[in-house]
A and B are shown apart, each in its own frame.
Chain A
Amino acid sequence: MVHGEVWTLKELFLFPNEYIYWSVQIVMYPFLTGLVAGAFVLSSLYHVFGVKELKNIARFSLVFSFALLFAAPMPLVLHLLQPHRGAYVFFTPHFTSAIAAFGIVFFTYGAIVASEIWFVYRKHFVDTALRLREIQDKTIWQWISYLIFCSLTLGSYDVSEEAMKTDKKAIKVLAGVGIPVAAFLHGYAGFIFGSVKANALWMTPLMPVIFIMSAIVSGIALCMLTYIVFLEFKKYRLTRARAAQTPNTYTMEEIKGAELNVIKMTSKYLLLFLVFAISLELLDLVFRGYTAVKSWDILKSVIYERDFVNIFIVQYGLGNALPLILFLIPGLTIRRAVVGLLLVLMGVFMMRWNVVIGGQAFSLTLSGYMHYALPIIPTDYETFKEGIGGALLVMGLPFGLFWLFIKMFPVHGRTEEGG
């Protein structure tokens, strides 16, 4: 069977070679890079612009961005028909292709985030390494931790006040440089689609900007949501610790107060970018309808008829308008915020879906349609990776990595380290 044939339903007149070649993994790719960029921008709001209220979530989202960064290339590799040749993109990049820039942008960005994390956590690495060094009769686990933290210090043990000042400066510069690079990382994902002149839905110079705005929205939303889950877990542990009469550094009121404050403050930024994102998307839609070039007839039938529920009900209605109202009603509670955040994330995911799958919903003939039947129960490797299983696998990966990373980079401590 031809690649794509199993999940493509064709209707009316299409060229014989047309199929949905870019499936759910290509929906996941911009969704994940968007989360990377958004999480980083959120952390930079504190590091660069000194938004004090975001201090707690800043470190959290920086580490989360790093975890997401590792997961971002996964969907790309999974969708390749020759995945073992994926590294050719780095070895023989063909620079007239937008995808060829991936290696450079991705590694530049990775280097920036890694360096920033190093500066933020340097004091923590040094303290931990020194503390472990002093322990006599180390267990094997302590030996391993000691070696890991010694390597993480990169041999720099200077934690004097002056050195810390320099670190702070470096963090500020890296966070500042990181913002345009993060925007570029995601903007260029938008460019990959926006520059395909053969595709009437994708081709618009607004695409990279729309992608960046919705990226920031989704990144902030996911950070807020994970932050809430993280603190709820802490609260749960605190209740259990109290029951067991063990001493704890936090009081319940402290956590509750901090949680609501951070969420209230962060949601203001979320709303700001959400309004930008919606405005740009609507501008694109209005412009297409107003200019009504040749392709508009079929685009109109896709947008207003075939994909109406996906676009207007799920994406704009449930994913944009409803959370906007939920966050604007005064007296925000954590519960309401969680509902709003889940809806925002779904809205951004649906926006990616409606661009990637919607862009392939009509034929190059402009007289035929294709429908993507998402494989749910896999029958082979291909229907697994390009179906719901592959999508969930890719979505779960950053959370696993994040769990691993916070063992090395504590995201919610009281100690006043570099960042």
Chain B
Amino acid sequence: MITRRDFLRYVVIGTAGAAAPLGLANPAGVLAGKDLTGPRWVFLLDTFKCVGCGLCVKACKTENEIPYEANVSRTWVERYVIMKDGTVLADTPKAARDGFTRNVIDLGQGKTQAIVTEDIAKAFFVPKLCNQCENPPCVQVCPVGATYQTKDGVVLVDRKWCIGCGYCIMACPYGVRFFHPVSHTAEKCNFCYHRISAGLKPACELACPFGARRIGDINDPDDEVTRIIKDGRVSVLRAEYGTNPRNYYIGLSEEVR
């Protein structure tokens, strides 16, 4: 015979026991905690080495089947020209697919601005790609969970589940997302996830003749990229958004957006 007191006790214990895994322990957290041994992919970008040739953009478009003529790209290169009078000029025509070969800045709408070489104080190139943020706002805002973070830190999009609302595109402070012109779903750089998962290098890294972009595993202390990030002086883009981006830059200047 069970007493009322015992019954209440079992109910309380049972409810608390059942609630514990739901409330206290987040299953994703438990899984992530177990898997400290796996890789956590990061990128190291050296702005001193980038010459703006655009080979990375070409390679990326081909590898990831982004229509060559479409005015969107998973990766791009920006050119910054700072004049002696302090004016900052910047552009990335066609995502720098064809490289920077002319001394004119693209102003959009077919307009350009000629640059007098003698007036330039400094100029440099900055390669951009998805930052695979530790705290990705794009994943946060997806209403159906079609975009998600893998345990090795890469943010992916499920083309079969994306509803095409564009909220993730709006939420990304880095402007890396766009709608794929063929699949009509959200699209972004995923560090060539199909390649890195098979032990290969991403297409852009292979295409870069100057070693300006390199992938690394921040969990591997012997990785050269990890050593540079840990020992060297690197910075990230737009830290103020709290996204905790995982692309590290060498030689980032304050004019870079």
Contacts and interface: CB of A to CB of B under 8 A. Distances in A.
Interface of A: 1-5, 9-19, 21-22, 76, 79-82, 85-86, 88-89, 92-94, 96-100, 102, 192, 196-199, 363-368
A21 B143 contact: no
Contacts, number: 144
A12 to B, nearest CB: 6
21 contacts: A3-B181, A15-B128, A15-B257, A16-B175, A17-B177, A79-B165, A81-B163, A82-B164, A88-B146, A88-B161, A89-B163, A93-B143, A93-B144, A97-B140, A97-B167, A196-B171, A363-B175, A364-B173, A364-B175, A364-B257, A367-B88
A82 B162 contact: yes
Contact of B108 (A88, A92, A368): A368
Contacts of A5: 71
Interface stretch (B89-97, B223-231, B245-253): B89-97
Given A18-B175, A97-B141, A198 B241 contact: yes
Interface of B: 70-73, 76, 88-92, 94-95, 107-109, 128, 137, 139-146, 161-167, 169-179, 181, 184-185, 241-242, 257
A213 to B, nearest CB: 24
Nearest to B70: A2
B101 to A, nearest CB: 17
Given A2-B70, A2-B181, A198-B241, 15 more contacts: A3-B179, A4-B179, A9-B109, A11-B107, A15-B92, A15-B175, A16-B73, A17-B177, A80-B164, A81-B165, A97-B167, A99-B141, A197-B171, A197-B242, A366-B257
A188 to B, nearest CB: 12
Residue among A3, A11, A364 with most chain B CB within 10 A: A3
A17 B185 contact: no
B162 A16 contact: no
Contact of A21 (B88, B141, B179): B179
A81 B179 contact: yes
A99 B170 contact: no
B71 A2 contact: yes
Given A17-B177, A89-B143, A197-B173, A10 B165 contact: no
A92 to B, nearest CB: 5
Given A11-B108, A199-B170, A89 B90 contact: no
A21 B166 contact: yes
B40 to A, nearest CB: 22
Given A81-B164, A196-B171, A17 B72 contact: yes
Given A82-B162, A82-B185, A94 B142 contact: yes
Contacts of A93: 143-144
Contacts of A18: 175
